[in-house]
Amino acid sequence: TEIIPATLSEVGFGAHGRLFPRAFTITYDVYLTNGLGEGIILNEHGRTRLASGKSHGLVGEDNNGRPSVSGRIGFRRRAGGELGLSYYGGPYNSYRSEGVAIDVRRDVHLAALDLTTDLGPASLRGEMAFAWIDVPDDLREVFGERQWGFHLDAVVRLFRPRIRGLTDAVVNGVLRVERVDYNRGTFSSTSDPIGDEVTAVVTGVALRPVAGTVLKANYRHEWIRDLQGNAIVRRAGFQFGLATYF
């Protein structure tokens, strides 16, 4: 959610499909959409943040008249899980108005790799993403031009509780490792690494009373380094959540 601006809904159109070569299933998606806006840079967070470039309206106007392109291709094998490759790219700033150039075009590019598989009793799900952002010269170093992050979740079934009327209820144990680097690179004046990064480990339990619904209780521990690269600050806490489809 920090590198990839999920969940993201945009005006546009596209195509998707499925192929079945031998033992594999290949899925593909490709879309043309309005794209992200200038909130990537001009936001209240004081850093480059793709999620802040999302349109606030359900049907928003494109701010530059040039669509962004996104797509994913996935390779699935019944016994081996799924591997997916994704891309998102296009201009994000208002560089053109009524057909007249008013600024230098600045693009954002995002590439991701996702994986779902089983390893013994554990179900693994992870994703790694890299972002490249054209940042104005006077904002570089403070606002990151390169970002990356990943997460890896491991879920193990602990037991099936006996709950009247819920024959498929299950309690899972969860372990998650994640990291996000908002600003890759070094300071030009000192050659010291730029900070602004967070690493976290999460453990917890999850009750799935029915398919598509989950109750979670997690303990999260974070290691945070600020932009200047000062000593790491630790933060921890409990999280409780509910997710469902309806």
d(CA 129, CA 114): 9
How sure is the predictor about 180, in pLDDT bands with cuts at 50, 70 and 90?
A: very high
* Residue 185: strand, helix, or coil: coil
Q: Which of 69, 70, 72 has the alpha carbon at shortest distance from 27?
A: 72
pLDDT, tens digit (0-9, with 9 covering 90-100), for 186-205: 998 888 999 999 999 999 99
pLDDT value, residue 6: 86
What per-residue confidence (pLDDT) applies to 211?
Answer: 86
Whether the CB-CB separation of 184 and 196 falls below 8 Å is answered with no
Identify the pLDDT of residue 8: 85
Residue 179's DSSP bridge partners are 150, 199
**Cα separation, 106 vs 133, whole angstroms:** 8
Higher pLDDT, 246 or 120: 120
| For residue 30, pLDDT beyond 80 | yes
d(CA 42, CA 48): 8
Question: Which pLDDT value is given to residue 58?
Answer: 64
CA gap 49, 201 in Å, rounded:
22
At 240, is the pLDDT very low, low, confident or very high (cuts 50, 70, 90)? very high
Q: What is the mean pLDDT of the chain?
A: 93
Write out pLDDT tens, residues 72-127.
999 998 778 999 999 999 999 999 887 788 899 999 999 999 999 999 999 999 99
User: Is there a cis peptide before residue 213, judged by omega within 30 degrees of 0?
Assistant: no
pLDDT in tens, 4-26: 998 888 889 999 999 998 888 99
